[in-house]
A and B are shown apart, each in its own frame.
Chain A
Amino acid sequence: MATLSIAEALREAIREEMRRDERVFCLGEDIDIEGGFGGAFTVTLGLSKEFGHERILDTPISEIMIAGAAVGAAMTGMIPIADVQYGDFLFCMMDQLANNAAKMTYMSGGTVKVPMVMRAPVGATTRGAQHAQSLEGFFTHIPGLKIICPSTAYDAKGLLKTAIRDNNPVVVFEHKLLYGSKGNRAEKAALSPVGEVPDEEYLIPFGEGVIRREGKDITIVANLLMVYRAMEAADILEKEGISVEVIDPRTLVPFDYELVIHSIRKTSRLMIVEEDTKRNGWGAEVAAQIAEDALYYLDAPIVRVAGYDVPVPFAPVMENYVVPSASRIAEAARKLMKS
C-alpha cells in the first residue's frame, strides 16, 4: 500500500499505462517543461524523465489543436491523454470534442475507434468566472463521451487506468481542491485527501458508484468536492438524529442508477448535490431519471442543492455563497426531513 494524493495517483496511473502500452502518450500546455509546473496542478510532473518529451508532449497554447490532435492520433493507432489547464478552456476545444471525438465512431458506423482521454480540472478557487466552472453536466449531454469524476486517490488511479484502456473518448473531471498538489502549486483552500492505493494493479469499472457513508433517512448523491461537503453535512446531521447515506457515483456517464435506487428504497428521500449551476445539470438528469423509474420509493420530492445559476464570482464571500456548503446541504436536508 502507498499513501498518495490524487495528483500522485493520477500520475501513477499514467506512468503505469505508459509503461504497459507504448501507444499511450500525453499532450498539453506546460505539462512537463524543465523547471516548470508539471501541468497546472503537477499531475504530469517529472514524467518526461522516464518517457522523454516525445511521449510527454509540451504543446503551444492551442486548445483546438490539442483536442483535435488527440482525436486524430486516437483514430490512427495511438492512445493520447490530453490535458487542459483549466476545465473552462474545454469550451475552446468544444468543436473537436463534441463534433469529432464524440461522433467519429458513430459517423463511421463503428469502423473507427477514438480511444482518447481528456483531463480537465474543475471547481471554484477564487480565480474568477473563467477559471472556476464545473462542466461535468455540460459534457454529459453529449452522446459518445464517457464522463468520470474521481474524488479519492484510489478512484483516481483505478478510473484513469480504465479510461486509458477504453476504446471511446473519456473526459476526466478532476477537482482543483482535491489534488493535494504539493509545493508551490498547492491550493490555499485545498482539502488534500490522501488515500491508500494498493501496490498491485487494479482497474475500476465505469458505472459503479460507491456508498461513502451508510445512512437510513436521506440519500445524498454528490460528486467531486461535493462528496466531502456532503460528508461534512452528514456529520452535522447525525448529531441531530438525521442519518444520511452518501453516494459517490464516480462516473456520470455511465451512471449507476441501480445503486441510487437501492439506497432510496431504504431511505425514501433523495438529494443531489453538485457544484455546477443547477439548471439542466447532471443532477437534473438524475432527478428526472429517478422520477421516471423509481418515484414510488420516494416519500418526498427530490431535492437538488447546486451552484446558483450565475457565473462564479471572484470575491470569496460571494463565491462561498454560490458554491454549496455543508451548512446549505444540512439545511436542505432538515427541510427534506420535514416534507
Chain B
Amino acid sequence: MYEQLFLLRNYEDRIYYMFLEGIMPGTIHQSQGQEACAVGVLFDVRKEDYMTSTHRPAGHCLAKGVSLESMMCEMFAKANGCCKGKGGAMHTGDISVGAIPAVAITAGGMPVAIGAGLSCKMRKTDNVVICFFGDGASNEGAFHESMNAAAIWNLPVVFVCENNLYGASTHINQVIKIKDLAERAAAYGMPGYVADGNDVLAVNKAANEAIDRARKGKGPTLLELKTYRRCGHSRNDACGYRDKQEEKEWFEKDPVARCKNYILQQQLAAPVELEAIEKKVLQQIDDAVAFAKASPSPEPQDALLHVYA
C-alpha cells in the first residue's frame, strides 16, 4: 500500500513540475493529499470490477491498474496514451482494467456507474462498481437519481465520496446543511458510513466491507471519506479561498507520511526497505517520463478516427 501511495503522490508531483516547466499541454486537477482514498478503496478490488472517476482521476486510475506509461503518454498528448491523445488528463482511463474513461462533468460518471452496476448484475457476474465523486458532486441531480436507482435495484455499486471540503473554491459548509454527506444514504435506503480518508487502512477496511456487501448481492453503500487537497483545484490555483489554519491542520494529517510513520512505528518494514521502494517508484516515474517524451505524437488527421456517426 505504501508503494502505491508513494507512486500516486510522486506521479502527481512530477506532473505538476512538468506543468510549471510548460512542457505539458492541457489542464490538471490533481489529487495530492487524497491518495489514501484511491489506494484504500481500490487495493482489494479485482481487475474485472469497474470504476468510474472524475475530473481528478489520476490517483484512481493508477490504483485501478492503468499503466503508468500509458497515463504519462496521455498527459504528453502522445499517440500511445491510454486514450490515444484524444482524452487528456480529465478523461484518463483504460477499460481493459475496468477503469471507465473519467467523466469531467461533475457527477456525470454516477449514472454511468448505475449502468455498469446493472450490467454486472444482468450478466450474472459478481463484479462490483466503484463510483468516485466529490462533495460538490453530491449537489447534482445526477447524484440523487443514481443513489436512488442503485438502492431500488439493489445494485453492486459502492459510492465513494471524497469529501475534500471544497468544490472548486466553494467550501462545503456553504452548500450543504448536514454534517456528514453519508447521512444522505438514509434518504435512499442504503447504508452510509464515514471514514478517515487520510488513513489508508481505515479506508481499506470500510471499503472492503462495502465491496463485500455489493459482491454478495446485498446492495449499494455510500462511503464518505474525509480528506483534503494538498494542491490547487486546477492548474494555477493558489487556494486564496482556503483558511491557512485549516490547511495547516490538514497538511499535518498527510496520508502518505502517516502510512510511512505507521509502518516504521509498528516495525512492519525497515527504513531501508521503504527507501528501496521509494527509489524503485521514482525510477519507474523517470522511465515513464522518458518513454512518454520519446513517444510519437498522433497525426493531426487521427482526430477524425474513432467517431462513427
A308 within 8 A of B: yes
Which of B78, B104, B137 has a CB less than 8 Å from the CB of A131?
A: B104
A311 within 8 A of B: yes
Contact of B240 with A130 in the complex, beta carbons under 8 Å: no
Shortest C-beta distance, B174 to chain A (Å), equals 7
Contact of B105 with A88 in the complex, beta carbons under 8 Å: yes
A34 within 8 A of B: yes
Interface residues of B in 294-308 (CB under 8 A from A): 297-304, 307
Chain B contacts of A319 at CB under 8 A?
303
Shortest C-beta distance, A322 to chain B (Å), equals 5
Which of B87, B175, B300, B307 has a CB less than 8 Å from the CB of A320?
A: B300
Shortest C-beta distance, B84 to chain A (Å), equals 8
Interface residues of B in 63-100 (CB under 8 A from A): 74, 77-78, 83, 85-91
A308-B140 contact in complex given A314-B83, A318-B85, C-beta closer than 8 Å: no
A336 within 8 A of B: no
Contact of B27 with A126 in the complex, beta carbons under 8 Å: yes
Once the chains are docked, how many angstroms separate the CA of A29 from the CA of B171?
A: 11
Interface residues of A in 27-73 (CB under 8 A from B): 29-30, 33-37, 58-65
Residue of A whose beta carbon sits closest to that of B91: A128
Interface residues of A in 303-317 (CB under 8 A from B): 308-311, 313-317
Residue of B whose beta carbon sits closest to that of A307: B303
A313-B240 contact in complex given A30-B169, A126-B27, A321-B301, C-beta closer than 8 Å: no
Which of A89, A127, A184, A310 has a CB less than 8 Å from the CB of B307?
A: A310
Residue of A whose beta carbon sits closest to that of B169: A36
Contact of B105 with A130 in the complex, beta carbons under 8 Å: yes
Contact of A58 with B170 in the complex, beta carbons under 8 Å: yes
Q: How many B residues are at the interface, by size bracket?
A: 35 or more
Contact of B297 with A314 in the complex, beta carbons under 8 Å: no
Q: How many A residues are at the interface, by size bracket?
A: 35 or more
Once the chains are docked, how many angstroms separate the CA of A65 from the CA of B103?
A: 21
Chain A contacts of B87 at CB under 8 A?
128-129, 314
Contact of B300 with A317 in the complex, beta carbons under 8 Å: yes
Interface residues of B in 135-163 (CB under 8 A from A): 136-137, 139-141
A33-B170 contact in complex given A60-B176, A184-B236, A322-B303, C-beta closer than 8 Å: yes
Which of A36, A37, A65, A315 has a CB less than 8 Å from the CB of B86?
A: A315
Interface residues of B in 154-187 (CB under 8 A from A): 167-170, 174-176
Contact of B83 with A310 in the complex, beta carbons under 8 Å: no
Chain A contacts of B169 at CB under 8 A?
30, 33, 35-37
Contact of A321 with B140 in the complex, beta carbons under 8 Å: no
A92 within 8 A of B: yes
Shortest C-beta distance, A225 to chain B (Å), equals 18
Shortest C-beta distance, B169 to chain A (Å), equals 3
Once the chains are docked, how many angstroms separate the CA of A139 from the CA of B168?
A: 28
B126 within 8 A of A: no
Contact of A318 with B170 in the complex, beta carbons under 8 Å: no
Contact of A128 with B85 in the complex, beta carbons under 8 Å: no
Contact of B301 with A60 in the complex, beta carbons under 8 Å: no
Which of B91, B136, B239, B303 has a CB less than 8 Å from the CB of A61?
A: B136
Which of A63, A65, A126 has a CB less than 8 Å from the CB of B26?
A: A126
Contact of B25 with A129 in the complex, beta carbons under 8 Å: no
Contact of A30 with B85 in the complex, beta carbons under 8 Å: no
Shortest C-beta distance, A278 to chain B (Å), equals 12
Which of B77, B236, B307 has a CB less than 8 Å from the CB of A317?
A: B77
Chain B contacts of A60 at CB under 8 A?
136, 139, 167, 170, 175-176
Q: Total A-B residue pairs with C-beta atoms closer than 8 Å?
A: 137
B23 within 8 A of A: no
Once the chains are docked, how many angstroms separate the CA of A127 from the CA of B88?
A: 7
Chain A contacts of B106 at CB under 8 A?
61
Chain B contacts of A88 at CB under 8 A?
105
B242 within 8 A of A: yes
Interface residues of A in 247-303 (CB under 8 A from B): none
Residue of B whose beta carbon sits closest to that of A319: B303
Shortest C-beta distance, A309 to chain B (Å), equals 7
Residue of A whose beta carbon sits closest to that of B75: A314
Shortest C-beta distance, B56 to chain A (Å), equals 14
Which of B78, B108, B238 has a CB less than 8 Å from the CB of A184?
A: B238
Once the chains are docked, how many angstroms separate the CA of A330 from the CA of B300?
A: 19
Chain A contacts of B241 at CB under 8 A?
33-36
Shortest C-beta distance, B89 to chain A (Å), equals 7
Contact of B137 with A318 in the complex, beta carbons under 8 Å: no
Residue of A whose beta carbon sits closest to that of B174: A58
Once the chains are docked, how many angstroms separate the CA of A309 from the CA of B139?
A: 33
Contact of B170 with A321 in the complex, beta carbons under 8 Å: no
Contact of B91 with A130 in the complex, beta carbons under 8 Å: yes
Contact of A128 with B303 in the complex, beta carbons under 8 Å: no
Once the chains are docked, how many angstroms separate the CA of A64 from the CA of B175?
A: 15
Chain B contacts of A310 at CB under 8 A?
303-304, 307
B44 within 8 A of A: no
Residue of A whose beta carbon sits closest to that of B238: A184
B286 within 8 A of A: no
B237 within 8 A of A: yes
Chain A contacts of B107 at CB under 8 A?
61
Residue of A whose beta carbon sits closest to that of B90: A128
Contact of A314 with B105 in the complex, beta carbons under 8 Å: no
The residues of B with any CB-CB pair to A shorter than 8 Å are 25-27, 74, 77-78, 83, 85-91, 103-108, 136-137, 139-141, 167-170, 174-176, 236-242, 297-304, 307
Besides A30-B167, A131-B104, A319-B303, 16 new A-B residue pairs in contact (Cβ under 8 A), listed by A number: A29-B170, A33-B170, A34-B241, A59-B175, A60-B136, A60-B176, A61-B139, A127-B90, A130-B105, A313-B298, A317-B300, A318-B86, A318-B303, A320-B300, A321-B300, A321-B301
The residues of A with any CB-CB pair to B shorter than 8 Å are 29-30, 33-37, 58-65, 88-89, 92, 126-131, 184-185, 308-311, 313-322
Show 22 A/B contacts (Cβ-Cβ < 8 Å), sorted by A.
A33-B169, A36-B241, A58-B170, A58-B174, A60-B139, A60-B167, A60-B170, A61-B136, A61-B140, A89-B105, A126-B26, A128-B87, A128-B91, A129-B86, A130-B108, A310-B304, A310-B307, A314-B86, A315-B88, A315-B297, A317-B77, A321-B301
